[in-house]
Amino acid sequence: MSLALRERLIFEYSRPGRGARGQWPEAPARSALDALPDGLRRQRRPLLPEVSELDALRHYTRLSQLNFSIDTHFYPLGSCTMKYNPRACNAAALMPEFLGRHPLAPVAQGQGFLACMYELQEMLKAVTGMRGVALSPLAGAHGEFAGVAMIRAYHRARDDLERDEIIVPQAAHGTNPATATMCGCVAREVAVGADGDADLEALRAAVGPKTAGIMLTNPSTLGVFERRIEEVARIVHQAGGLLYYDGANLNAILGKVRPGDMGFDVIHMNLHKTFSTPHGGGGPGAGAVGVSARLLPFLPLPIVAREPAAERGAEAPQYRWLGERDLPQSIGRLTSFGGNAGVLLRAYVYMRMLGREGMRRVAEYATLNANYLSARLQQVGFEAAYPQRRASHEFIITLKRAEQDYGVTAMDVAKRLLDLGFHAPTTYFPMLISECLLIEPTETESKQTLDAFVNAMAQILREAREDPEQLHGAPHTLPVRRLDDVRAARELNLVYREPAT
Amino acid sequence: MPFIPHTDDDEREMLAAIGAPSIEALFDEIPPALRVQSLDELPTGLSEFEVLQLMAARARADGRPLCFLGAGAYEHHIPAAVWSTITRGEFYSAYTPYQAEASQGTLQSIYEYQSMMASLTGMQVSNASLYDGATAVAEGCLMAVRANRRSKSARILLPRSLHPHYRAVALTMALNQGLIFDTVPYARDCGHLDLDALTAHDGQDFTALVIQQPNFFGVIEEVDALTDWAHAREALVIAVVNPISLALLKPPGEWGAKGADIVVGEGQPLGCPLSSGGPYFGFMTTRMQHVRQMPGRIVGATVDVDGRPGFSLTLQAREQHIRRAKATSNICTNQGLLMMAGTLYLALMGAEGLERVAAASMARTAELVAALTVLPGVRRMFARPTFHEAVLALDRPVAPVLAALAQRGIQGGLDLADFYPELGPALLLCATETKNGADIAAYASALTEALRPARAA
């Protein structure tokens, strides 16, 4: 039986009249509120905790201890690039001047910050082979939205109004078709070939005068590099469509191949994956977009521009935001202000520390780790989905044999891994491989960590043969065992209510 | 090699296990013509010491001016415990809680956040956050179109007194889906949204009315009458609110006879630093009847197989990873860490602390306005009550005045010339509890100086 690790709700620590008073400002004279019309005042206080600073700190520290995280556990979550988040990046972003800078502060009082943003744009251009970069999208899916919106704007500007189909491979991330819908397009799925590459015949049949573009991840969500990418680009371009690169797997090719050179017209980058900004328990991310020359006029606002010293008679180059007047064809604004600046600063610091040599090494060691882990897992009896292919930075294991032979599912394996001290890989994605685990070790893990993971997986395979119940019942050692998701959805309990007294 | 732990021995052994002669061989499926030739445009790597020196120099260059800017991002004191807690690795470096058993800390925190936000806004349910205030408004509009089945028009009434960036983002995000936005003017003398301005839409099919409280000018709207007007026409009400103001102002759930239907806003004032515009978090709450139309993650309480209480992501059938093209939104990552900051902030402030922050901010702004409007050529633009922002009318263009204030280390507010040219020289400013009497006096004296030379000329 596992430990009872339940931590009460913060509301249950509440005592009337208690509070973290040292953090509160002094109350102004009551007359300060005289201007508020009576009918528009709040009558009843909201249900917020009344706790001391220690109560709150202890509660949330305890809650934190119920989490797995990169800092505490190997976290091989496929397609999520859970690499180490260097602390220097955090330290720089938390410098008081950066934290205190208002988003609408004059550019004269932001040249230091804007210089970082401009150089980040330039570095991202260089490493992806794109012609322009905008930093404002706040997450990968937000960048996808910007990308597809630009594709639409491009066709519209050419009076090519019929193009509203976005082609996505069967194995695409769910955000791809969802983004197509958000941009008013129809998502059209095309099959993937048996070798994991695109089915070119299916693609040729799918493209036509209604094709706005195609969304691809390369290496694909199947963990293999799309070898005929140049042919794919030719087919789509000849049909009048554009190519969208989903940057979820950019870590695999950083410094080795550039999306711009593969023929992509627009890409989004997940800075929280490839450039190691923290995932924060589900955000913040940053989904910068890059474009080829033909989409430059449509980039979202704002963008940082640099005006060389010579042109302005100034001593140093000056940085400023470009707005609507500078980019009249822009798809417009996507964010309250200029983007997730704090995340962008962290990515900037990370890229400056890596430098040009470091970029290439990211892809090299991420790929080495994935291929090593794939080889070792196959040695101990697991089945790779594409054994004849090189793994990219991630690979797929299918448990369909274990399912048939012992009734053990991918979910069982994932949950048992938690018991053994490893975060589970991505499960049941991509959907076209049954009982799959998508495993991405990243370059920051050592051989010793990977070996320990292999040992854990080998143990699980043994248990599948000898004691499958052990797996069906997992996890056994965590604060809770498997949760009743059906009840969660059927008997919705989404907020705490004060017990009746 | 920064952040890569491999020794030469490791590398040799790993390649042997793979059966590859070199790391380079692992890239042999990539067509050679596509391989990167040179990365010379990128700088060479810096050590941690070097990069932190560079960043410190850049931070210093930006300085720490006295900031009286608001306009959607507000400087409030953030208790030290907020960021020291959320930058713990277990929160900072975890991901979306897909494996519920290994993420109870994040999941329970989200449940607590949902509870606090629902109560603060007077609504029944909350999601786990959206990207920011502007995208929350856009998602609110899209949600209203899904939720209001009586309306066929997908037409949303947007007040011109809604934050101009929020209006712009709503357009960017919703135009491709066929939404129509009609702009409703504000009353020129008082800055509020007048019922008379809405009569043009009487008899028209529209889906929702957006009401920002307080509006972009800081003016407090007559939300009850506006809400009832929209409901009488079978339209939904989307409330856009400042969470700090809700300590004092009637929560949207109590607006008019029936309350607002969807509540959204910028969560930044709750524990998030200004940080040049982000990361912040957007919030969204609604009635239970609309919960399946709500975008974003939602956490529910449930039990495990042993009957022990626990938390998990729920109603995932709305989301992109399940529903793909039919999802309510493409959002997946939200602003988890900032939502944590908001949760910590609300836990430490409680209702009383939050009231004090709101009241002190309102009082400081009133003092600031009083101190500035005694100067010749400076007056209040609008006659209505305001919360913690106000628009001042100047007798000359604002930009040079702000530049002169900046010379004296003061960010004096936002020039409205680009956003609202019809107002003439207009300055939007804000003071929160972080400004004291000396700060306000410093502003007044700097403004006196800034106005003097032009007068003499």
Joined together, the tokens standing for residue A213 give 């573009």
Q: How far apart are alpha carbons A161 and A154 in whole angstroms?
A: 10
In a domain, B155, yes or no: yes
Q: Are strands B208-213 and B236-241 parallel, antiparallel or unpaired?
A: parallel
> Any CB–CB contact under 8 A between A423 and chain B?
yes
- How close is the nearest chain A Cα to the Cα of B47, in Å? 6
Of B69, B88, B100, the CB nearest to A105: B69
For B107-110, the CB contacts below 8 A with 24+ separation are: B107/B299, B107/B310, B107/B311, B107/B312, B107/B313, B108/A7, B108/A9, B108/A63, B108/A66, B108/B311, B109/A60, B109/A63, B109/A281, B109/B339, B109/B340, B109/B343, B110/B297, B110/B299, B110/B311, B110/B336, B110/B339
In the predicted structure, residue B455 carries a pLDDT above the cut 90: no
pTM attached to this predicted model: 0.97
CB contacts, 8 Å: A447 with chain B: 6, 10, 13-14
Of B6, B276, B403, the CB nearest to A341: B276
In the predicted structure, residue A41 carries a pLDDT above the cut 50: yes
- The answer on B309 and B195 residing in a single domain is yes
In a domain, B208, yes or no: yes
Instruction: State the count of interchain CB pairs (< 8 A) between A and B.
Output: 696
Q: How far apart are alpha carbons B140 and A225 in whole angstroms?
A: 39
**Spatial CA neighbour of B248 closest among A59, A197, A2, A32:** A32
Closest-CA residue of chain B to A335: B134
CB contacts, 8 Å: B128 with chain A: 282
Residue-averaged pLDDT of chain B: 96
- The answer on B389 and B338 residing in a single domain is no
Portion 305-334 of B in contact with A at CB < 8 A: 305-306, 308-312, 314-315, 317, 319-327, 329-334
pLDDT per residue as tens digits for the range A252-286? 999 999 999 999 999 999 999 999 999 999 999 99
Q: How far apart are alpha carbons B114 and B102 in whole angstroms?
A: 20
- The answer on B410 and B274 residing in a single domain is no
Q: How far apart are alpha carbons B14 and A363 in whole angstroms?
A: 16
CB contacts, 8 Å: B317 with chain A: 489
The predicted structure's pLDDT at residue B329: 86
- The answer on B417 and B327 residing in a single domain is no
Hey, of A14, A24, A487, which one would you mutate to test binding to chain B, going by the most B CBs within 10 A of its CB?
A: A24
- The answer on B285 and B159 residing in a single domain is yes
B132 contacts A142? CB cut-off 8 A = no
Portion 178-237 of A in contact with B at CB < 8 A: 178-187, 224-225, 227, 229-230
Task: Give me the DSSP letters along B209-228.
Answer: EEEEES-TTSBPP-HHHHHH
pLDDT (mean) for A111-134 = 98
Of B35, B51, B302, the CB nearest to A484: B302
The predicted structure's pLDDT at residue A2: 39
Of A257, A444, A480, the CB nearest to B104: A480
- How close is the nearest chain A Cα to the Cα of B141, in Å? 13
Of A36, A57, A181, the CB nearest to B81: A57
pLDDT (mean) for B16-27 = 98
Query: Total domain count for chain B?
Result: 2
Q: Which of A299-313, B130-144, B150-164 has the lowest mean pLDDT?
A: A299-313
The predicted structure's pLDDT at residue A1: 34
Q: How far apart are alpha carbons B122 and B238 in whole angstroms?
A: 13
> Any CB–CB contact under 8 A between A440 and chain B?
no
Q: How far apart are alpha carbons A36 and B384 in whole angstroms?
A: 10
In the predicted structure, residue B91 carries a pLDDT above the cut 80: yes
pLDDT per residue as tens digits for the range B257-292? 999 999 999 999 999 999 999 999 999 999 999 999
CB contacts, 8 Å: B336 with chain A: 279-284
A495 contacts B2? CB cut-off 8 A = no
In a domain, B30, yes or no: no
A321: three-class secondary structure by DSSP: strand
The predicted structure's pLDDT at residue B407: 94
pLDDT (mean) for A75-97 = 97
Portion 453-472 of A in contact with B at CB < 8 A: none
| Boundary of a domain, candidates B325, B345, B365 | B345
- The answer on B274 and B355 residing in a single domain is no
pLDDT per residue as tens digits for the range A177-188? 999 999 999 999
| Boundary of a domain, candidates B297, B318, B345 | B345
B406 contacts A106? CB cut-off 8 A = yes
pLDDT band at A499 (very low <50, low <70, confident <90, very high): confident
Q: How far apart are alpha carbons A240 and B443 in whole angstroms?
A: 58
CB contacts, 8 Å: B358 with chain A: none
**What is the length of chain A?**
501
In a domain, B199, yes or no: yes
B347 contacts A60? CB cut-off 8 A = yes
B275 contacts A341? CB cut-off 8 A = yes
**What is the length of chain B?**
457
pLDDT band at B16 (very low <50, low <70, confident <90, very high): very high
The predicted structure's pLDDT at residue A93: 98
In a domain, B127, yes or no: yes
pLDDT per residue as tens digits for the range B95-140? 999 999 999 999 999 999 999 999 999 999 999 999 999 999 999 9
| Separation in Å, CA A128 to CA A288, A290, A360, B42 | 12, 8, 12, 11
The predicted structure's pLDDT at residue B331: 86
- The answer on B240 and B117 residing in a single domain is yes
B43 contacts A355? CB cut-off 8 A = yes
In a domain, B398, yes or no: yes
- The answer on B395 and B275 residing in a single domain is no
A60 contacts B304? CB cut-off 8 A = no
- The answer on B355 and B323 residing in a single domain is no
In the predicted structure, residue B327 carries a pLDDT above the cut 90: no
Q: Over pLDDT 70: what percentage of chain B? A: 99
pLDDT (mean) for A99-112 = 96
Q: Where are the alpha helices (DSSP H) in B334-436?
A: 336-373, 398-407
Q: How far apart are alpha carbons B131 and A336 in whole angstroms?
A: 9
pLDDT per residue as tens digits for the range B180-225? 999 999 999 999 999 999 999 999 999 999 999 999 999 999 999 9
In a domain, B216, yes or no: yes
pLDDT band at A5 (very low <50, low <70, confident <90, very high): low
B251 contacts A492? CB cut-off 8 A = no
Hey, of B54, B348, B419, which one would you mutate to test binding to chain A, going by the most A CBs within 10 A of its CB?
A: B348
pLDDT band at B175 (very low <50, low <70, confident <90, very high): confident
B333 contacts A60? CB cut-off 8 A = no
- How close is the nearest chain B Cα to the Cα of A465, in Å? 23
CB contacts, 8 Å: A73 with chain B: 102
Joined together, the tokens standing for residue B393 give 């009318």
The predicted structure's pLDDT at residue A3: 43
In the predicted structure, residue A94 carries a pLDDT above the cut 50: yes
pLDDT per residue as tens digits for the range B346-394? 999 999 999 999 999 999 999 999 999 999 999 999 999 999 999 999 9
Domain span including residue B443: 66-75+351-456
The order of strands in the sheet holding B426-430 is B378-380, B389-394, B426-430, B414-415
- The answer on B357 and B337 residing in a single domain is no
> Any CB–CB contact under 8 A between A338 and chain B?
yes
Portion 360-379 of A in contact with B at CB < 8 A: 360-362, 364-365, 367-369, 371-372, 375-376, 379
The predicted structure's pLDDT at residue B454: 53
Q: Which domains, from first to last, does chain A contain? A: 88-351 (3.40.640.10), 360-486 (3.90.1150.10)
A75 contacts B312? CB cut-off 8 A = no
A63 contacts B104? CB cut-off 8 A = yes
Closest-CA residue of chain A to B10: A447
B4 contacts A444? CB cut-off 8 A = yes
**R_g over Cα of chain B:** 26
- How close is the nearest chain A Cα to the Cα of B12, in Å? 11
In a domain, B374, yes or no: yes
CB contacts, 8 Å: A340 with chain B: 277-279
Task: Provide ipTM, 2 decimals.
Answer: 0.97
CB contacts, 8 Å: B219 with chain A: none
Distance of CA A237 to the CA centre of its chain: 28
Portion 364-403 of B in contact with A at CB < 8 A: 366, 385-386, 402-403
Of B114, B298, B333, the CB nearest to A141: B333
Read off the CATH number of the domain in which B259 is found.
3.40.640.10
The predicted structure's pLDDT at residue A308: 83
Read off the CATH number of the domain in which B362 is found.
3.90.1150.10
- The answer on B133 and B70 residing in a single domain is no
Joined together, the tokens standing for residue A32 give 């300060």
pLDDT (mean) for A339-344 = 98
| Boundary of a domain, candidates B315, B345, B375 | B345
Portion 224-283 of B in contact with A at CB < 8 A: 224, 246-251, 254, 266, 273-281
> Any CB–CB contact under 8 A between B23 and chain A?
yes
- The answer on B290 and B430 residing in a single domain is no
